[in-house]
Amino acid sequence: MRKRVWRLLGLLAVLTLLAGVCTAGAQEKTRIKFWTFHSNYEKEFMISLGQEYMKVNPNVEIVYENIPESEYMGAKLTTAFAANSGPDVFVISPGDFLKYANSGLALDLTPYFTDKIRADFLKSSLDAVTVKGKIYAIPFEVELLGLYYNKDMLAKANVAPPKTWQELIGATKKLKTDQVAGLVIEPQRGYYQNFTWYPFLWQGGGTVINVQTKKSAFKGRAVENALKLWADLIKAGAPSKLAKGTWEPFIGDGSAAMQICGTWIIARLEKDFADKNIGLVPLPTPPGGKAATDAGGWKFMVNGKSKNADAAAKFAMWALAENVNLPLKWCTEVKFAYSPRKSVVQAGAAIYGKGLRKVFTDQIYETAIGEPRYPAEIVGFVGDALQEVMFKNVAPRQAAQKADQKIKQFLKDFKGSM
């Protein structure tokens, strides 16, 4: 009887010990909130990042939350951070980068960038996320813009792929039907509209801010001509309202004959619209203009106010700055983009000459200019000018002058970095 009691006591002690170990193990897990806005294959990839990381880091729990794109682009992040409930890791556009870097919210990732990691990144990509010598984000893609077109629709209308602004306006008119838009451009005010419009500004030699003087340069013929072009495209029949964002493949579902869009839709076109006969050319240019496209791309940022900021930074660095296979899959399978990392580009060299990618590689890549990281206020002033000429019949010169004055006034009191 006594032996039986001792055995029971021993078993109880072991169970208690095991329970304690399990409880301690559960308590030791570090929980990382990871937010993005992606859909379809991109969403699946983002989910997989957390799953793969947890396999090799069982004490970390990556909690992925997908936010509808319209909310993410709106006030979702700002509101969450104001309520101290923001994510630990999140994606950020070049347009929003300064807002978080200047506010002190972004974690300084400089200590995580070893010399080896730094050497692997293109200098221009790291420069774009560096403020006063500190790195505040991890770039993981370089996305370029081009003009996609439906070969069958253009052939039926006897329209050649446009090379000039006038040809683009003419084709937009001629290709428009009751069911099909001749051309889709972004009609809604915001970062994305500016991103897709900047190349036309640059083609004529214009810019928003003088790089050397840091003063407004939003005036002159190049600015006015680029504004007028987008007003003319709306007059030619480009839709003023759309049910979804113009980063989606209108060109694939047959609702548009031409579309200004980026490298990212190639994978969607190949997977979901392989039966469509799609072509791609560089963005049309004005008389005497120089070819240009925008090099954008999202970045990972870490919440510097998070109690788990170090663990969050290690997850983000593992996924995008140290691992090769995952970034390669993102840039060559999930979507198409150029990686800002040399090791990833080398690993996927064969992909960059495949299909529509070859047009980007051979004809567009060399014309790329990095997307500017202007403060949100300046982005808004430029957006206002675009909306006024496109939808309020304001003369381009008047809209440009108005925006120029707003930018000058804003810069008088602006103390942050650009």
Q: Where along the chain do its domains lie?
A: 30-142+297-322, 143-295+372-412
Strand partners, 295: 370
Strand partners, 195: none
pTM over 0.85: no
Residue with tokens 């602006």: 414
Bigger pLDDT: 204 vs 8: 204
Local structure of 257: helix, strand or coil:
coil
Are 201 and 226 in contact by the 8 Å Cβ rule? The answer is yes
Tokens of 313: 């930074």
Residue 28, pLDDT > 90, answer no
Q: What is the pLDDT of residue 391?
A: 98
Taking the C-alpha atoms of residue 208 and residue 255, their distance in angstroms, rounded to an integer, is 33
Q: What is the pLDDT of residue 22?
A: 46
| pLDDT > 90 fraction of the chain, expressed in percent and rounded | 76
Strand partners, 298: none
Bigger pLDDT: 196 vs 20: 196
Q: What is the pLDDT of residue 417?
A: 72
Nearest Cα to 147, choosing from 186, 184, 173, 94?
184
Asked whether the domain spanning 143-295+372-412 has the same topology as the one spanning 30-142+297-322, the reply is: yes
Q: What is the pLDDT of residue 42?
A: 92
Q: What is the pLDDT of residues 233-287, one digit of tens each?
A: 999 999 999 988 888 899 999 999 999 999 999 988 998 999 999 999 999 999 9
Burial tier of 418 (Cβ tally within 10 Å: 0-12, 13-18, 19+):
middle
Are 312 and 302 in contact by the 8 Å Cβ rule? The answer is yes
Average pLDDT, the chain: 91
DSSP secondary-structure letter at 356? T
Spatial neighbors of 278 by CB under 8 A, at least 6 apart, are 148, 149, 150, 151, 251, 252, 269, 356
Residue 14, pLDDT > 80, answer no
DSSP secondary-structure letter at 104? T
Q: What is the pLDDT of residue 317?
A: 98
Local structure of 162: helix, strand or coil:
coil
Q: What is the pLDDT of residue 21?
A: 47
Which amino acid is it at 60? V
Looking at the structure, give the CATH architecture of the domain made up of residues 143-295+372-412: 3-Layer(aba) Sandwich (3.40)
Mean pLDDT of 181-198: 95
Which of the following CATH numbers is that of domain 30-142+297-322: 3.40.190.10, 2.40.50.140, 2.40.30.10, 3.30.360.10?
A: 3.40.190.10
